[in-house]
Structure 1
């Protein structure tokens, strides 16, 4: 099973816009203080490579490899790294369950919002552990959809979350992965004393960030593979996804609108 088999979003414009905004500061701050200039890092599920390039800038005497199952998005990652002038980075297509690297190859193995789409996250974690060096780190951060909160209360957003759970779990994934990453790491064989579990959030509350986040979800509901999957699997109708997109637009227009995304994080020492 490959990582993209269960990926419900595809790699359309709204997806790349969201993923392309991510940085170490907002998506891997829990790991940042552990980085050293000479580290070798594997970024699994790197997408358009913005976090990967950030890693490369933090390890100028080291090397970073970004891998993703979707070959097309890797061209975006290479272009981004070239635009930033980052040379100590490379990108390759890979399957998270069968990484083409020897045991103990990397000081840090990182995955951001990847395990939630997998049928067997424990197997994936065992593979991430395999390619990490003794004394190295496996770092994982996952969203937790049931932990999302927003204001004002809009009925359509509750329905949107219910739909997301149906689509994600129907594809074999787990949208509430954030609360499970510690449990998954234990099941994968990491000793409890080797794991540091933390949380962090994204918050959208300004006019600009509300418009951006709402626009991403309106587009996903109306144009992305998420919409196609939701309708084809019988989780929603065209009329329903249009209704939910209007709910997102209504939320974004509220001056007191606020949306917070909970993430669970683990740093596992190997």
Structure 2
């Protein structure tokens, strides 16, 4: 999770950091999101260093720390409040591990890391569905490459392709609003399908890249509730960007009620689910690029 104004340093994440939203993102962990990367991490020395870019509520970061307690793992995000929350939760979620969280802009690494950390680089620089939340996200991927160790460092990305999202029961009105909000914020809902192209654009050779794909899903009632519930909360909050967007686009109260009913129906439907295609790349530096 990262601000959609990562390039400017403004904290204006379009979904927000409210508790309902954080609960939805906390469904994400190593098992559900990093199956493509785990074998690579398991092959590294146990004291590897990992940078988690756009860590949000830290559910993936905490899970990594529990699985690899000797590793030095740093989660970064623009949201000061969510970073403070994460650091306060370390004794609860990952005691005795090498985890920490820092607030700042990844495009300004000197504000986040010491000169020694920047100079030595990280064994792994990772992000999960962060690029899709940032305009001109190629610059973030380029910075991730620069922060990885020049010889043997790994840049790992898993990106959603929101344009591919499927909801059942059908919610076309909700999908249309989401698309319009992404467009309003200069975001690309097809970031996932362009991920390999972006990796090549920042200078990785094709033989350095392992590409794969998987599905991010909300299928069970326990998974659908936080996702759809966070949408309902945003629709009820006059100050949320979702509600401000409906005002900007001229939505009537009746149209907003349709959006709300869509999410309520998704929560209640025994046959309901959300599917989102995600693409994945593991890029390994070898000192020649």
Q: TM-score normalised to the size of structure 1?
A: 0.90
Distance (whole Å) between structure 2 residues aligned to residue 79 and residue 19 of structure 1: 18
1:109–1:128 Cα contact (<8 Å) kept: yes
Map of 1:128-143 to 2, 5 A cutoff?
128-133=144-149, 134-143=151-160
Q: Return the offset for 1:232.
A: 4.7
Distance (whole Å) between structure 2 residues aligned to residue 261 and residue 132 of structure 1: 28
Distance (whole Å) between structure 2 residues aligned to residue 60 and residue 93 of structure 1: 22
Aligned pair in 2 of structure 1 residues 53, 86: CA closer, same or farther (>3 Å)? farther
Kindly report the root-mean-square deviation, in angstroms, between the aligned alpha carbons of the 2 structures: 2.0
Deviations 1:169-209 (A, max 9, x none): 21111122211111111111111111112111133333333
1:227–1:241 Cα contact (<8 Å) kept: no
2:48–2:123 Cα contact (<8 Å) kept: yes
More deviation, 2-11/107-116: 2-11
- What runs of 5+ residues in structure 2 fail to find an aligned partner? 1-6
Query: Is residue 2:216 matched to residue 1:207?
Result: no
Query: Counterpart of 2:135?
Result: 119
* Equivalent residue for 1:166, pick from 174, 180, 185: 180
2:234–2:243 Cα contact (<8 Å) kept: no
Distance (whole Å) between structure 1 residues aligned to residue 282 and residue 124 of structure 2: 10
Q: Return the offset for 1:90.
A: 1.4
Q: Return the offset for 1:132.
A: 0.2
Query: Counterpart of 2:3?
Result: none
Q: How many residues align?
A: 267
2:157–2:281 Cα contact (<8 Å) kept: yes
SS in 2 for 1:29: coil
More deviation, 171-180/5-14: 5-14
2:20–2:226 Cα contact (<8 Å) kept: no
Q: Return the offset for 1:139.
A: 0.9
Deviations 1:223-258 (A, max 9, x none): 272323413532644542332111121233222223
SS in 2 for 1:22: coil
Map of 1:215-254 to 2, 5 A cutoff?
215-223=229-237, 225-234=240-249, 236-254=251-269
- What runs of 5+ residues in structure 1 fail to find an aligned partner? none
Distance (whole Å) between structure 1 residues aligned to residue 29 and residue 234 of structure 2: 22
Query: Counterpart of 2:209?
Result: 195
Q: Return the offset for 1:86.
A: 4.1
Aligned pair in 2 of structure 1 residues 3, 26: CA closer, same or farther (>3 Å)? farther
Deviations 1:107-139 (A, max 9, x none): 000111111122211111110001101211111
Aligned pair in 2 of structure 1 residues 212, 73: CA closer, same or farther (>3 Å)? closer
Q: TM-score normalised to the size of structure 2?
A: 0.85
Query: Counterpart of 1:93?
Result: 103
* Equivalent residue for 1:32, pick from 27, 34, 38: 38
1:66–1:91 Cα contact (<8 Å) kept: yes
Deviations 1:19-62 (A, max 9, x none): 22221111222111111311100111111212112222233332
